[in-house]
């Protein structure tokens, strides 16, 4: 029989854990309600869903049905296996919801040029978006985030955030076009619309990751990585929608592919890191800084500050990009690049400054914790390993040496050991700062895991 | 927690607050810009009479057929405005905008009497194109004040099909 234990927490007085889970549930409930409302309104007012989409919808329904079944059965099982069943159920239900949202998105955003062109546009955007995600994940040179969370963040940006904004933007745009004088006033209103609604929708993903996946959300660097990943996902679907839309508009004039290509270059090459990735990374930076601040008031202020910068950056581009005239000649190509550099460059530069400082801050503290752990003599981190673990290049060199000795398996075994050692240092850092709510046993478990991996490496 | 660590976090926090201050200024400038182009208290209660939107023959510069809100891509169209429905002291214009917000045809600004000969306002085919671009077109009759439009006196939306 498994008995419940009450291990000591790092900060016994912390009451934030139940509170943040409550906030996460409330945010999730609001998102689900908004999505249901958006889906119904899309169906009723925009058009009916084509038959082919219903097939994908069936898959979504099947996933949700199976997930629900496993969820119900999970509570009949013993405590030891219940968790695994709950995770399976959550994955299936989540997959079903994402599939359904994808159906809606494909229908809403890509119907204009037909599924074939939409597929070509999506294929064109996949490699660039994948490259963006690769670069963004590698920015965290001390402690990389798991691919599954980076991809979840990107999927939220592509599927959930776009679904969240479509109805709100339709409503705002329609109201503004019926009430305002066409021209700069209307353009400014629409720029506010895009900045506010799109950043709120994308930022909700970062906020939920912060509330639910605290173990993988360590600081400002992680926030920037997750925020940029959400932005890249959003940029992916927005690129596909703009490319297909412009293709369908200009194709009868024989310039559809050229118009779609210009959009691809502007959004997937020139604006890959400058646009949505930069905006939402600011929200992540705010949430990441809040993660480590001691008072609730400062946490709230940091999160609001991140949102304000993101909305302002997004607004300034949408409202004022047209101030820069683009000539219809060769120099126009240069002007397009200059416009992006001048309009969004300062925001990206500010973000890079936060990122560099955050990496330095994180790195110094990890080295400090590695040294302290080595000094305990428990064997998880040896004194001679501290310098290796502190440097990404030396870690890579160590992995390459392992590969030379034991092949690919050796490379990945050492990689797992290094990751576990850095996880331990990160855990120690958060515990020292009293910003963690997992019990001390979690740290001991990490230490045991490192020692176990070390035995494997030695073997 | 060491003081060095706290200082580093404080630098990050304060830097973000500075950025947020800049962001607030940007949003405030945007708000001022919006109020400048959409000045409050400009509702005069005057309504322009837009007779309708009709198929248009550019050769004869005449409209024909019934009033419609949807046109095929290959068909040109024009709005007809009854300028006599407006007070003679106003300065007004009429404009067509495409779905990108680009100006695609206009008359004015001028007094209704000056525009009396321009009651048919066609949508212009963009230079280098065979037909008008598909999408939603907005036609507005605007009242001018201090050199810029401040109020929409009449509005019509027209959809141009993709095929």
Q: What is the pLDDT of residues A265-282, one digit of tens each?
A: 999 999 999 999 999 999
Domain B49-160 belongs in CATH node 1.10.20: no
Closest Cα in chain B, distance from residue A283 (Å):
10
Domains of chain B: which residue ranges?
1-37, 49-160
Q: Looking at the structure, tell me whether residues A203 and A237 fall in a common domain.
A: yes
Q: What is the pLDDT of residue A124?
A: 94
> Is the model's pLDDT at A5 over the cut of 50?
no
Query: Which pair of structure tokens corresponds to residue A281?
Result: 């990374």
By the 8 A CB rule, do B66 and B111 touch?
no
Confidence tier at A459 by pLDDT (50, 70, 90): low
Q: Which of A115-124, B22-31, B98-107 has the highest mean pLDDT?
A: B22-31
Q: Looking at the structure, tell me whether residues A379 and A326 fall in a common domain.
A: no
Q: Provide the sign of the torsion angle of the four alpha carbons A345, A351, A354, A356, taken in this order.
A: negative
CB contact under 8 A, A286 and B16: yes
* Chain A: residue whose CA lies nearest to B2: A433
CB contact under 8 A, B33 and A312: no
What does the mean pLDDT of chain A come to? 83
Backbone φ and ψ of B98, nearest 5°: -90, -175
Q: Looking at the structure, tell me whether residues A140 and A207 fall in a common domain.
A: yes
pTM of the predicted model as reported, rounded to 2 decimal places: 0.83
Q: Looking at the structure, tell me whether residues A138 and A226 fall in a common domain.
A: yes
**For residue A182, what are the domain limits?**
113-343
CA distances from A300 to A221, A295, A304, B20 (A): 18, 9, 6, 13
Average pLDDT over residues B81-103: 90
CA distance B12 to A286: 9
Average pLDDT over residues B34-47: 89
For residue A58, give every residue at least 6 positions away whose Cβ sits within 8 Å of its Cβ, in sequence order, or none: none
Helix H or strand E encompassing B55: strand B49-57
Q: Does residue A129 sit within a domain?
A: yes
For residue B145, give every residue at least 6 positions away whose Cβ sits within 8 Å of its Cβ, in sequence order, or none: B42, B91, B151
Q: Looking at the structure, tell me whether residues A151 and A291 fall in a common domain.
A: yes
Instruction: Check if B150 contacts A (Cβ < 8 Å).
Output: yes
By the 8 A CB rule, do B78 and B50 touch?
no
| Chain A neighbors of B133, CB-CB under 8 A | 249-250
* Chain A: residue whose CA lies nearest to B39: A185
DSSP H helices in A255-329: 256-264, 276-292, 296-320
Q: Is the ipTM of this complex over 0.95?
A: no
Tell me how many domains chain A contains.
2
| Residue among B81, B83, B70 at smallest CA distance from B132 | B70
Q: Does residue A12 sit within a domain?
A: no
By the 8 A CB rule, do A187 and A319 touch?
yes
Instruction: Check if B142 contacts A (Cβ < 8 Å).
Output: yes
CB contact under 8 A, B27 and A311: yes
Q: What is the pLDDT of residue A196?
A: 95
Q: Looking at the structure, tell me whether residues A383 and A280 fall in a common domain.
A: no
Only one residue has tokens 């409050």, namely B40
| Chain A neighbors of B131, CB-CB under 8 A | 252-253
Among B8, B15, B16, B72, most A C-beta atoms within 10 A, so best to mutate, is B16
Instruction: Check if A240 contacts B (Cβ < 8 Å).
Output: no
Q: Looking at the structure, tell me whether residues A144 and A288 fall in a common domain.
A: yes
CB contact under 8 A, B9 and A289: yes
Q: What is the pLDDT of residue A188?
A: 94
Q: Does residue A300 sit within a domain?
A: yes
Q: Looking at the structure, tell me whether residues A124 and A218 fall in a common domain.
A: yes
Confidence tier at B108 by pLDDT (50, 70, 90): confident
| DSSP type of residue A9 | B
């Amino acid at each position: 029989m498994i008995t419940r234990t009450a291990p000591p927490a790092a900060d016994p007085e912390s009451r934030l854990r139940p509170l943040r889970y409550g906030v996460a549930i409330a945010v999730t409930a609001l998102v689900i309600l908004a999505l249901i409302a958006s889906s119904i309104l899309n169906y009723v007012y925009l058009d009916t869903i084509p038959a082919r989409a219903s097939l994908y919808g069936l898959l979504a329904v099947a996933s949700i049905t199976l997930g629900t079944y496993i969820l119900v059965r999970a509570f009949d099982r013993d405590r030891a296996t219940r968790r695994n069943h709950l995770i399976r159920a959550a994955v299936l239900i989540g997959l079903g919801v994402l599939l359904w949202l994808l159906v809606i998105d494909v229908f809403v955003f890509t119907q204009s040029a037909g599924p074939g062109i939409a597929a070509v546009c999506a294929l064109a955007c996949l490699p660039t978006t994948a490259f963006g995600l690769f670069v963004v994940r590698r920015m965290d040179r001390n402690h990389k985030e798991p691919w599954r969370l980076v991809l979840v963040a990107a999927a939220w940006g592509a599927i959930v955030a776009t679904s969240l904004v479509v109805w709100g933007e339709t409503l705002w745009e329609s109201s503004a076009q019926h009430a305002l004088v066409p021209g700069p006033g209307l353009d400014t209103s629409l720029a506010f619309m895009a900045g506010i609604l799109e950043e709120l929708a994308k930022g909700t993903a970062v906020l939920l990751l912060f509330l639910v996946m605290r173990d993988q959300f360590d600081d400002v660097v992680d926030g920037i990585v997750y925020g940029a990943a959400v932005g890249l996902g959003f940029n992916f679907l927005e690129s596909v929608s703009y490319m297909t839309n412009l293709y369908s508009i200009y194709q009868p004039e024989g310039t559809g592919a050229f118009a779609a290509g210009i959009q691809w270059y502007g959004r997937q090459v020139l604006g890959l890191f400058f646009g949505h990735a930069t905006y939402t990374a600011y929200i992540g930076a705010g949430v990441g800084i809040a993660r480590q601040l001691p008072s609730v008031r400062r946490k709230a202020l940091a999160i609001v500050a991140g949102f304000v910068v993101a909305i302002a950056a997004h607004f300034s581009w949408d409202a004022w990009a047209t101030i820069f005239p683009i000539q219809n000649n060769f120099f126009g190509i240069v002007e397009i690049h200059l416009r992006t550099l001048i309009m969004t460059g300062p925001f990206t530069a500010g973000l890079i400054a936060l990122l560099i400082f955050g990496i330095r801050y994180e790195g110094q503290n990890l080295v400090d914790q590695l040294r302290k752990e080595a000094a305990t003599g428990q064997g998880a981190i040896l004194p001679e390993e501290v310098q290796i673990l502190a440097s990404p290049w030396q870690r890579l060199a160590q992995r390459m040496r392992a590969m030379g000795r034991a092949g690919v398996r050796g490379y990945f075994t050492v990689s797992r050991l290094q990751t576990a050692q850095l996880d331990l240092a990160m855990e120690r850092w958060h515990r020292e700062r009293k910003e963690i709510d997992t019990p001390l046993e979690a740290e001991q478990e990490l230490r045991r895991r490192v020692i176990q991996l070390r035995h494997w490496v030695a073997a | 927690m060491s003081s060095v660590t706290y200082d580093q976090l404080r630098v990050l926090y304060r830097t973000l607050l500075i950025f947020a201050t800049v962001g607030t200024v940007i949003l405030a400038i945007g708000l001022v810009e919006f109020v400048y182009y959409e000045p409050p208290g400009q509702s005069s209660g005057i309504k322009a009479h837009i007779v309708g939107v009709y198929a248009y023959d550019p050769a004869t510069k005449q409209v024909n057929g019934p009033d419609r809100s949807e046109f095929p891509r290959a068909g040109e169209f024009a709005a007809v405005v009854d300028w006599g429905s407006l007070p003679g002291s106003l300065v007004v214009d009429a404009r067509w905008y495409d779905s990108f917000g680009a100006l695609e045809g206009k008359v004015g600004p001028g007094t209704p009497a000056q525009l009396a000969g321009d009651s048919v306002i066609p949508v212009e085919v963009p230079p280098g194109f065979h037909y008008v671009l598909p999408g939603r077109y907005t036609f507005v009759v605007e009242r001018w004040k201090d050199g810029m439009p401040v109020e929409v006196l009449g509005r019509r939306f027209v959809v141009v099909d993709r095929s």
